[in-house]
């Protein structure tokens, strides 16, 4: 998330995989610890930095900021600055990202079903 050593095998592999197919690309964009949660919160309405922070327990300023910036770069969220003091900044999903939300429903269903299977087999 911070700096990366672009010549490392690690980074080369990451980039290679990112170009494999759309699925891998998508998952690469979504990979940060709190990204899905942030997107999920924003799927209901736009929110300010502090509002996001307050509705995501345990996230730190740094992580929130880092993730938002990356997602802005990746075209997942939009950042809207109001010329006020103290500053007011709102975040919202881009149009493209809204299509993603629909897919989550399926993944959500799958995830819950799979978890149920897993838990029943542990007995």
Q: Which residues bind a copy of itself (CB under 8 A)?
A: 9, 12-14, 16-17, 20-27, 29-31, 33-34, 36-37, 40, 57-58, 74-75, 96, 99-100, 103-104, 106-115, 117-118, 121
With tokens 């990451």, the residue in question is 14
88 binds, among DNA, a copy of itself, none (CB under 5 to 8 A by kind): DNA
Secondary structure class of 92 (helix, strand, coil): strand
Please, which residues have CB within 8 angstroms of residue 11's CB and are 6 or more apart in sequence?
A: 4, 5
Residue 109: which of DNA, a copy of itself, none does it interact with, CB under 5 to 8 A by kind?
A: a copy of itself
Q: How far is the CB of 86 from a copy of itself (least distance, A)?
A: 28
> Which structure tokens are listed for 34?
């709190």
Residues composing the chain? 123
């Amino acid at each position: 998330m911070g700096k990366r050593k672009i010549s490392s095998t690690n980074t080369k592999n990451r980039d290679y995989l990112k170009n494999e197919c759309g699925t891998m690309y998508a998952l690469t964009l979504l990979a940060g610890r709190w990204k899905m949660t942030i997107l999920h919160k924003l799927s209901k309405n736009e929110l300010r930095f502090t509002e996001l922070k307050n509705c995501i327990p345990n996230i730190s300023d740094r992580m929130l900021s880092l993730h938002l910036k990356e997602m802005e770069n990746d075209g997942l969220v939009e950042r809207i600055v109001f010329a006020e003091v103290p500053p007011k900044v709102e975040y919202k999903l881009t149009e493209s990202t809204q299509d993603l939300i629909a897919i989550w429903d399926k993944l959500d269903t799958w995830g819950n079903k799979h978890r149920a299977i897993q838990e029943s087999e542990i007995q």
